[in-house]
Structure 1
Amino acid sequence: MKTKKYVLACDLKDEVELIKKYEEYHREVWPEIIKSIHEVGVLNMEIYRTGNRLIMLMETQHDFSFEMKTKADRQNLKVQEWESLMQQYQQAIPSAKNGEKWTPMDKIFDLKNT
C-alpha cells in the first residue's frame, strides 16, 4: 500500500505545569480520538517535544487529505471536545498562517535521495 508522510509543528504554551498536563493527556488519549484518527486514514502518528515545541509525524493512506480530516473532525462531538481541551495548552508557531494550529513542515533533506 502506498502511503504519505506529513510532519507538522505546534507550540505549547511555555508553562511547566501546562506542558506536564498536556503530556499526561497524551499518555491516555481518549479511545474515541484514536478511533477518529484511524477512520480518516491515519496509519501512524507520533508526537515529539523539545522545550515547548511539538513535532507530529503522520503516516497516512495515500488518499488521506487534511480537508477530509477537518470535515470529519467537525462532525465528531468527542473530537471537538478534545480539541477544545487541547486548545488550553497549544499555540501556533510564529510562522503559522492565520487560524493554523499545526503547521505543515517542508522536507528539505532526505538521506535516501543522496
Structure 2
Amino acid sequence: MRYCLALDLKDDPELIARYEDFHREVWPDVVSHIRDHGVSNMEIYRLGTRLFMIMDTDDSVFDMDRMTQGALNNPAVQQWETLMWEFQAPTPWTPAGQKWVPMDRIFDLQQQR
C-alpha cells in the first residue's frame, strides 16, 4: 500500500538546512525500525516549508498502530523524533498531538480512461 503524508517545517532557512543534513544519513536504528515494520520504501520531498512523504508498505507485515507503538517503545526512535520536532511544525490541518498526517488522493491516472 502507498501512504502519502504531509508535515511542515519551521520557517527558518538554517533549521531547514540542518533538517535536510540529518536526513542525508538517518540514524541506523531509525532506519531499521522503519524497515522492520514493513515499510519497503520511503521518500520525503520538500517545497518551501511543506514536507511530503511517500511511504510504500508490505501489507502482509505493515500495521500503522504496531509501528507507532514500536516507536514509543524504542529509545533511539524517540530521541530522533524529539530532535526532529525541533525543526518540524504541524500543518494548519494537523490534529493536536500528531505530526505526519495522511493526505487524500484526489486523482489517479490509472483510473482514467
Task: Check whether TM > 0.5.
Answer: yes
**Aligned match of 2:25:** 28
For 1:1-114, list aligned pairs within 5 A.
4-63=1-60, 64-114=62-112
CA distance in 2, matches of 1:57, 1:27: 17
Identity %: 49
Cα deviation digits, residues 35-78 of structure 1 (max 9, x gap): 11001110000000000000000000114222111110011100
CA distance in 1, matches of 2:94, 2:79: 23
Unpaired stretches in structure 1, ≥5 consecutive residues = none
Which stretch shows the higher mean deviation, 59-68 or 80-89? 59-68
Residues paired across the two proteins, number: 111
SS in structure 1 at match of 2:11: coil
TM-score (norm 1): 0.95
CA distance in 2, matches of 1:95, 1:78: 28
